[in-house]
């Protein structure tokens, strides 16, 4: 008895929704099933690319050209995801340029969900396009293993979900600047944020120099003054619509008062251990407000 195909007769919208859970490469492969499936992948508003870096640059260039054609062929791009594999040094500069340009194009097509992932091993790719930080349509932003070069102006009025996992910033002020431009933020996850310039593999000479440096000469001025100057006006940021926050392995360079309105809060037990004396009093003051909220909801996991 022949098997009945109950999927192909479904409307295009449902079939495209099913295909959106696949990588773009796998979605294109479904065009081989039958004539019914052949044009569907061209209508997908969700694009998911796995970026691997072969030994042959010509293969990488060919793959990039295919991605360009796919992105440019879309009238509307709802979701764009890039999952990068380990990067060779000579791929870093072209990858930075390609990803930022691809994201720019997607933003021009109404991008709502941006997901960029990398395994966090040096060298680290950089997200620097100014259009990313001024996108009016972006609702979800997830960055994993990327160096985030925050623009001078951040305006993300529609952003509701921000996930920073193993993300790198130049300084704490950059994180505060990013948060200050997200007035509609409802969900925040910040795990293992680090502060440094673009991460590259150290040469042997740089490693030798770092060994010879005198630790006592690394910082001439008191830490307190440096931190105050670093954070500047962003200490007073507020996220009034924030509902859920998960903050772990993060120093309190994000003021607790910025997340004091949350209903559900999860914090890593390392928070207090990483707190500098400069922030301890303010931390405890704000913590009282957060604990009051915890007592009201009784649904918060707080590890302190």
Summarised one tens digit per residue, pLDDT across range 247-259 is 764 445 566 667 7
Pairwise CA distance, residues 97 & 132, whole Å: 14
Residue reference for tokens 């509701």: 160
pLDDT per residue as tens digits for the range 45-55: 899 998 888 77
Neighbours of 136 (CB within 10 A): 11
Q: Beta strands 147-148 and 126-127: pairing type?
A: parallel
Q: Which of 70-79, 161-170, 263-272 has the lowest mean pLDDT?
A: 263-272
Confidence of residue 288 (pLDDT cuts 50, 70, 90): very low
Q: Which of 135-149, 162-176, 201-215, 234-248 has the lowest mean pLDDT?
A: 201-215
Q: Is the pLDDT of residue 224 over 70?
A: no
DSSP H or E stretch at residue 291: helix 277-297
* Mean pLDDT score of the chain: 76
Confidence of residue 2 (pLDDT cuts 50, 70, 90): low
**How confident is the model at residue 199, as a pLDDT?**
52
Q: Beta strands 79-84 and 140-144: pairing type?
A: unpaired
Q: What is the pTM of this model?
A: 0.74
Pairwise CA distance, residues 135 & 114, whole Å: 11
In this structure, what token pair is assigned to residue 53? 């870096």
Residue reference for tokens 């007073």: 236
Nearest to 154, CA basis, from 168, 134, 184, 125: 134
Pairwise CA distance, residues 16 & 37, whole Å: 10
The helix/strand/coil state of 163 is strand
Distance, C-alpha 21 to centroid of its chain: 20
The helix/strand/coil state of 293 is helix
The helix/strand/coil state of 227 is helix
8 A C-beta contact, residue 231 and residue 173: yes
């Amino acid at each position: 008895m022949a098997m009945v195909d109950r999927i192909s007769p479904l409307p295009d919208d449902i079939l495209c929704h099913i295909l959106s859970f696949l990588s773009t490469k796998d979605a294109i492969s479904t065009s081989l099933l039958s004539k019914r499936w052949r044009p569907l992948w061209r209508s997908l508003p969700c694009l998911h690319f796995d970026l691997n870096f072969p030994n042959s640059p010509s293969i990488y260039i060919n793959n990039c050209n295919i991605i360009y054609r796919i992105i440019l062929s879309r009238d509307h791009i709802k979701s764009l995801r890039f999952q990068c594999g380990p990067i060779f040094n000579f791929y870093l500069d072209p990858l930075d340029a390609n990803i930022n340009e691809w994201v720019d194009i997607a933003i021009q097509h109404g991008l709502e969900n941006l997901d960029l992932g990398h395994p966090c091993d040096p060298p680290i790719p950089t997200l620097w396009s100014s259009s990313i930080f001024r996108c009016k349509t972006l609702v979800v932003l997830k960055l994993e293993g990327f160096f985030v070069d925050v623009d001078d102006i951040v305006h993300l009025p529609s952003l509701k979900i921000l996930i920073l996992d193993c993300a790198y910033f130049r300084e704490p002020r950059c994180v505060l600047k990013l948060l200050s431009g997200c007035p509609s933020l409802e969900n925040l996850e910040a795990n293992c944020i680090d502060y440094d310039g673009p991460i590259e593999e150290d040469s042997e000479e740089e490693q030798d120099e770092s060994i010879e440096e005198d630790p006592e000469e690394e910082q001439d001025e008191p830490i307190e003054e440096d931190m105050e100057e670093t954070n500047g006006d962003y200490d007073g940021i507020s996220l009034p619509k924030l509902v859920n926050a998960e903050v772990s392995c993060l120093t309190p360079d994000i003021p607790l008062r910025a997340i004091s309105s949350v209903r559900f809060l999860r914090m890593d037990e390392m928070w207090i251990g990483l707190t500098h004396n400069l922030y301890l009093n303010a931390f405890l003051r704000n913590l009282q407000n957060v604990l009051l909220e915890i007592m009201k909801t009784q649904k918060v996991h707080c590890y302190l």
